[in-house]
Amino acid sequence: MSFVPARLARRSWLLCVLSGIWLVGGIACGGRAPDAPPSQPGSAGAPDANRPDSDKKPRVALLSPGPISDDGWNAFGYDALKIIEKELGCEVRQQQVNDSPADREQGFRAFAQEGFDVVIGHGGEFADQALAVARDFPNTTFVVTAGDKAAPNVVSVVFDTGQASYLAGAIAATLSKTGRAGAIGGQNIPASARNLYAFRNGARAVNPNMEVAVAFIGSWTDTAAARQQALAMIDKGADFIIHDCDAAAAGVFQAVKERDIRAFGMQKDQSHLAPDHIIGSPTSNPQGLAEVVRRILQKEQKGEVVHLGLKDNAVGFAVKKGVISKELEGKLNALTLAIQKGEIDVFKEQP
């Protein structure tokens, strides 16, 4: 059966309601819906109507903790899923789950029970539930992005975005006139904290006296709180701000525009959100996640914590053209090389 989206009804409400009643009536009267789906639960509404049962495509699902339209963390996960669909030829599905362990567990179980090969929980908070569910479904591999735990069929993928944040810190320390910068996080979770403190480490590597205030607003979506926090930091002298607060970052950029200082994006190249103020963004490359999934599907990946960084081309730093001097660029290249070689531990100093 197919799910051709019906043309948005332009007719009256009444018709819509009537058609609804008719449809309900049809089901209630014991009739099966036309094209009754196979009995396997959940597969009933597969968007791909012509999937032959014999030639089975691998199936990959993504559990997002927030809306995939956030232009940040969740969009990143969805981008990876799209790559998995296109380049690995997988059947993919995505579900947004509430911010609660019970719902995360249910999401894992639902996909695993449907026989998905890989289920990605997008965020370190999925780790405990992945471990719990993995025991019951040995034939499914569970991937946790930014996770810190592993099991035979649980793979954690950590994007060390902090390596790029370190570079951002170095830029901020070089260009800052006040010697102060701010870092704003969403909820205080390990992945986010590591990222922001790497920024501080980078800044102090250039200027040991650089003051970097780190604060968490307790939400990934509260733009008002993010703006307030940014304004507070700016008022204390910060002239560079980096964030890791996902959709709430819109508030940070608002404040940055109001006070006309410079800022960094996160996760994707966000310079279009405040073109005059954002001079660079640490980025994660969704290709890196797709690559891990490919290895899982081809049985090349064992259950472990996989760290991806600058050297895997999984983390990058998108710099705005014309802001960086030749001299600074040289310095950054040297730092990048050192990080890739493992000579610098960007996460060395934590709070």
Partner 1 sequence: MARLPEALRAPALSVAAVAAALAAGAAVLRLAGYAPGPALWVMANAAFGGPFALADTLVKATPLALCGVGVALAFRGGQFNIGAEGQMLMGALAAVAAGLQLASGWAMPLVLASAAAAGGGWAFLAAWLKTARGVSEVISTLMLNFIAFWLVSWLVHGPLQEAAKSYPQTEMVAEALWLGRWLPPTRLHAGVFVAVGAALVAYGWLFFTASGLRLRVLGDSPQAARTAGISPERTAWLALTLSGACAGLAGGIEVLGVSRRLYEQFSPGYGYMAIAVALLARRHPLGVLPAAVCFGALEVGAAGLQRAVGVSAGLAGVVEAFVVLAVVAVSGRRDAPA
Interface residue list for partner 1 (CB under 8 A): 1, 3-9, 13, 16-17, 19-21, 23-24, 26-28, 33-35, 37, 39-47, 61, 67, 93-103, 105-107, 109-114, 124-125, 133, 136-137, 187, 189-190
Pick 73 or 264: Cβ nearer partner 1? 73
Pick 39 or 50: Cβ nearer partner 1? 39
Nearest approach in angstroms of CB 336 to partner 1 is 29
Pick 23 or 323: Cβ nearer partner 1? 23
Nearest approach in angstroms of CB 331 to partner 1 is 34
Pick 76 or 111: Cβ nearer partner 1? 111
Nearest approach in angstroms of CB 323 to partner 1 is 36
Pick 105 or 291: Cβ nearer partner 1? 105
Nearest approach in angstroms of CB 244 to partner 1 is 16
CA atoms of 349 and 212, how far apart (whole Å): 13
User: Do β-strands 240-244 and 262-264 pair in parallel, antiparallel, or remain unpaired?
Assistant: parallel
Nearest approach in angstroms of CB 35 to partner 1 is 8
Q: Which two tokens stand for residue 46?
A: 């597969």
Pick 91 or 239: Cβ nearer partner 1? 91
Nearest approach in angstroms of CB 267 to partner 1 is 20
Pick 187 or 340: Cβ nearer partner 1? 187
Pick 129 or 283: Cβ nearer partner 1? 129
- 235 class by beta-carbon count within 10 Å (0-12 exposed, 13-18 middle, 19+ buried): exposed
Q: Dihedrals φ, ψ of 215, to 5°?
A: -145, 150
Nearest approach in angstroms of CB 162 to partner 1 is 16
Nearest approach in angstroms of CB 239 to partner 1 is 31
